[in-house]
């Protein structure tokens, strides 16, 4: 995932903040799609061009709401999951780590992301900048 490179280059806090901004932009997109969908529902009851236009709006609104909601949930889930693990186990410093290695797969401990149900198999090997402790974020 390209956006994970931001953790390496700009730090976890910047990535986390950016992730939440993008995620809520998808929530706004979901809301706008919902307005389009409801407009389509109102027009679909009409006749002639209104009926066809309403069906088109309804379909487009449905696609936008479904896709936006999925993106919102996925991005929020990843941000929450990584955020919960961004605490150094040694000194309890939050988000003060550098990324030693990362990837979608395979995980260094041999784990299988499909079996372990991890979204996209994202993992990071983090090293604390304060105490030097290392841990896995997955
Ligand atoms: Zn530490």
Same domain, 80 and 90: no
Same domain, 20 and 71: yes
Indicate the helix (H) or strand (E) that contains 31. Answer: helix 12-44
62-112 pLDDT, tens digit each = 999 999 999 999 889 888 999 999 999 999 999 999 999 887 755 455 444
Domain containing 46 equals 1-84
Same domain, 1 and 65: yes
Same domain, 1 and 25: yes
Contact 138, 122 (CB under 8 A): yes
Same domain, 77 and 94: no
For residue 18, give Cα distances in angstroms to 32, 71, 128. Answer: 21, 14, 22
Number of folded domains in the chain?
A: 2
Q: Report the length, in residues, of the chain.
A: 138
138 CA distance to ligand 1 centroid (A)? 18
93 CA distance to ligand 1 centroid (A)? 6
Q: What is the mean pLDDT of residues 32-38?
A: 96
Provide the whole-model pTM.
0.77
100 CA distance to ligand 1 centroid (A)? 14
């Amino acid at each position: 995932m390209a956006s994970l490179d931001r953790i390496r280059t700009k730090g976890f806090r910047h990535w986390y903040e950016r992730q939440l901004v993008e995620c809520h932009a998808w929530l706004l997109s979901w809301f706008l799609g919902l307005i389009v969908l409801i407009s389509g529902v109102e027009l679909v009851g009409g006749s002639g061009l209104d009926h066809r236009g309403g069906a088109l709006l309804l379909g487009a609104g449905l696609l936008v709401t479904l896709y936006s909601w999925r993106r919102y949930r996925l991005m929020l889930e990843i941000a929450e999951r990584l955020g919960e693990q961004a605490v150094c186990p040694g000194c309890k410093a939050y988000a003060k780590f550098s990324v030693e290695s990362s990837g979608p797969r395979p995980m260094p401990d041999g784990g299988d992301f499909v079996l372990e149900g991890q979204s996209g198999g994202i993992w990071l090997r983090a090293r604390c900048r304060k105490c030097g402790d290392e841990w896995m974020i997955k």
